[in-house]
């Protein structure tokens, strides 16, 4: 990240759109209106899960309270309403990420299931013994373990492009690891542990030059920036609803239709079939081929409401505000003696990860907690990243557009308390 001048104003710089009114936005999030241990909640664990605006809660309530029915099956009125809303959400998601068609939007449980779906289904069709899968040293366990399954089941090799001390993927090394045996590249768009924004355009270009498809884990990116999958030209893009201000238990796998058409189904059951006899079955069209069983209908509808909300605020405004906020918070904590930021990539989004030389991340987390500040402490489901930096874990403050500059000040003040106790 660029160095921040100490004189930087505590206000977002003017963008083309009017700046975001954070206090008005905070009023939209019921959970933020509470005290924790008698202090106002300062929620800085957004990379774990984001809070939900009232419109999302209302959409879920409306579904269960007024139109609860199964989708794609009923001949009755409620089923029609539920199906319209659920499929309407799919269309919103398609527009939100710039997909070419709604049949390229597969509803799943979350980014983890999306990654498992691709690993399992793509591998069955396209990965043979001796083939290679290429990931990076920044990945979340959900983009490592499914490929280890593939490695062990298919006799494939798992290659890992290294990162530098700033937490950036070494593109030269990445390119060298692309070989004639590479069958798929799977990389995160933004690192959950460090906040590094990965140059996925470059990565996609390099992979496509060798006709290798690319799966992007967008769980930590989509909440922070505008993503257009067609412009990126990625082959798959995975994300979770709950990190995008939507409900838990719902997520999306975007896949180019030609890949999804070629891949075998992931799970078998209702809705994913066209015809079933005891001898054989034929499968439904996209996206239903990958959606066995009754889906998370309320979740899908809630996610659609979250996307409406984000569009009403504007992803560009969100990105600009969060960028200023992260730079400000970084500057505020940098001067604290014994504090070292882990992950100093030139481009970062949402995440401020650090260690304090005299205090374990969990002790830091407990002290912040008593000041009403929620952070995550530990390895962040990215143990290989921690190993790369020779640490067991970090304390991670992760920001959303409802966080304020005053909350960044409070974080810094509470960290100075840690220094008082342990320093």
Partner 1 sequence: MSDVKDLYQELIVDHSKRPRNFGTLEQADHEATGHNPLCGDKVTVYVKVEDGVVQDVHFQGVGCAISTASASLMTERIKGKPVAEAEALFKEFHDLVTTGNTQPGAMEHLGKLQAFSGVKEFPLRVKCATLAWHTFRAALHGEEPDLSADD
Residue 370 sits in the site that holds partner 1 (CB under 8 A): yes
68, 225, 234, 381: the active-site residue: 381
Q: Which stretch binds partner 1 (CB under 8 A): 77-85, 137-145, 153-161, 360-368?
A: 360-368
Binder among 10, 31, 78, 421 for partner 1 (CB under 8 A): 421
Does the protein bind partner 1 through residue 417 (CB under 8 A)? yes
Compute the distance between CA of residue 327 and CA of residue 315 in angstroms, rounded to an integer. Answer: 18
- Give the residue among 186, 136, 139 at the shortest CA–CA distance from 163: 136
Provide CB contacts within 8 A for 271, sequence distance 6+.
72, 73, 284, 288, 291, 292, 293, 294, 295
Nearer to partner 1, 18 or 38 (CB): 38
Does residue number 388 form part of the binding site for partner 1 (CB under 8 A)?
A: no
Q: With contacts defined by CB under 8 A, name the span among 79-87, 226-234, 262-270, 370-378 that binds partner 1.
A: 370-378
3-state secondary structure of 194: coil
Is 378 a binding residue for partner 1 by CB under 8 A? The answer is yes
> Tokens standing for 300?
């899908």
Q: Please report whether residue 347 would count as binding partner 1 according to CB under 8 A.
A: no
CB of 393 to partner 1, least distance (A): 5
Active site annotation includes 234 = no
Q: Minimal distance in Å, beta carbon 407 to partner 1?
A: 19
Q: Could you say whether residue 37 binds partner 1 (CB under 8 A)?
A: yes
Is 360 among the residues that bind partner 1 (CB under 8 A)?
yes
Q: List the beta bridge partners of residue 238.
A: 217, 253
Mark 390-409 with x for binding to partner 1 (rule: CB under 8 A) and - for no binding: --xx----------------
Nearer to partner 1, 319 or 392 (CB): 392
Stretch of residues binding partner 1 (CB under 8 A), selected from 131-139, 219-227, 253-261, 373-381 = 373-381
**Among 95, 162, 362, 406, interactor with partner 1 by CB under 8 A:** 362
Query: Would you count residue 48 as binding partner 1 (CB under 8 A)?
Result: no
Is residue 367 a contact point for partner 1 (CB under 8 A)? yes
- Applying CB under 8 A, the site for partner 1 has a residue count of 19
Compute the Cα dihedral for 285, 290, 291, 293 and give only its sign.
positive
**Burial label, 248 (beta-carbon count in 10 A; 0-12, 13-18, 19+):** middle
Residue 132 phi, psi dihedral angles, 5° rounding: -125, 145
What does each C-alpha distance from 101 to 91, 106, 118, 285, 291 come to in angstroms? 8, 11, 19, 13, 17
- CB-count burial class (<10 Å; 0-12, 13-18, 19+) for 358: middle
CA 33 to chain centre: 25
Binding site for partner 1 (CB under 8 A): 37-38, 358-363, 366-367, 370, 377-379, 392-393, 417, 421-422
Residues with catalytic roles: 381
């Amino acid at each position: 990240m660029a160095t921040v001048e100490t004189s930087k104003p505590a206000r977002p710089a003017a963008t083309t759109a009017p700046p975001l009114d954070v206090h008005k936005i905070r009023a939209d999030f019921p959970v933020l209106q509470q005290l924790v241990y008698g202090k106002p909640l300062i929620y800085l664990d957004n990379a774990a899960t984001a809070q939900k605006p009232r419109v999302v809660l209302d959409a879920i309530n409306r579904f269960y309270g007024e139109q609860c029915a199964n989708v794609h099956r009923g001949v009755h009125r409620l089923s029609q309403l539920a199906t319209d809303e659920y499929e309407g959400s799919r269309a919103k998601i398609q527009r939100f990420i710039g997909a070419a068609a709604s049949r390229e939007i597969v509803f799943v449980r979350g980014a983890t299931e999306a990654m498992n779906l691709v690993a399992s289904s793509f591998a069955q069709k396209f990965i043979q013994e001796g083939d290679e899968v290429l990931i990076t040293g920044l990945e979340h366990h959900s983009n490592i373990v499914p490929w280890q399954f593939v490695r062990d089941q298919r006799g494939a090799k798992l290659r890992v492009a290294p990162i530098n001390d700033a937490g950036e993927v070494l593109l030269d090394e990445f390119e060298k690891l692309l070989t004639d045996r590479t069958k798929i590249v799977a990389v995160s768009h933004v690192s959950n542990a460090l906040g590094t924004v990965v140059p996925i355009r470059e990565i996609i270009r390099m992979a496509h030059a060798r006709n290798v498809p690319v799966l992007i884990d967008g769980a930590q990116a989509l909440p922070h920036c505008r993503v257009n999958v067609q412009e990126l030209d990625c082959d798959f893009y995975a994300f979770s609803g709950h990190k995008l201000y939507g409900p838990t238990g719902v997520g999306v796998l975007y896949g180019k239709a030609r890949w999804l058409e070629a891949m075998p189904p992931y799970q078998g059951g209702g809705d994913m079939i066209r015809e079933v006899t005891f001898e054989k079955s034929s499968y439904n069209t996209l996206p239903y081929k990958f959606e066995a069983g009754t889906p998370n209908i309320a979740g899908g509808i809630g996610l659609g409401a979250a996307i409406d909300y984000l569009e009403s605020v504007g992803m560009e405004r969100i990105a600009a505000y969060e960028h200023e906020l992260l730079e400000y918070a970084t500057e505020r904590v940098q001067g604290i003696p014994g504090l070292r930021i882990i992950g100093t990539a030139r481009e970062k989004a949402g995440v401020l990860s650090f260690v304090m030389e005299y205090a374990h991340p969990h002790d830091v987390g407990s002290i912040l907690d008593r000041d009403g500040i929620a952070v995550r402490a530990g390895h962040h489901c990215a143990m290989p990243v921690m190993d790369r930096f020779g640490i067991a874990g970090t304390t991670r403050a992760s920001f959303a557009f409802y966080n304020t500059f005053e909350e960044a000040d409070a974080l810094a003040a509470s960290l100075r308390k840690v220094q008082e106790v342990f320093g």
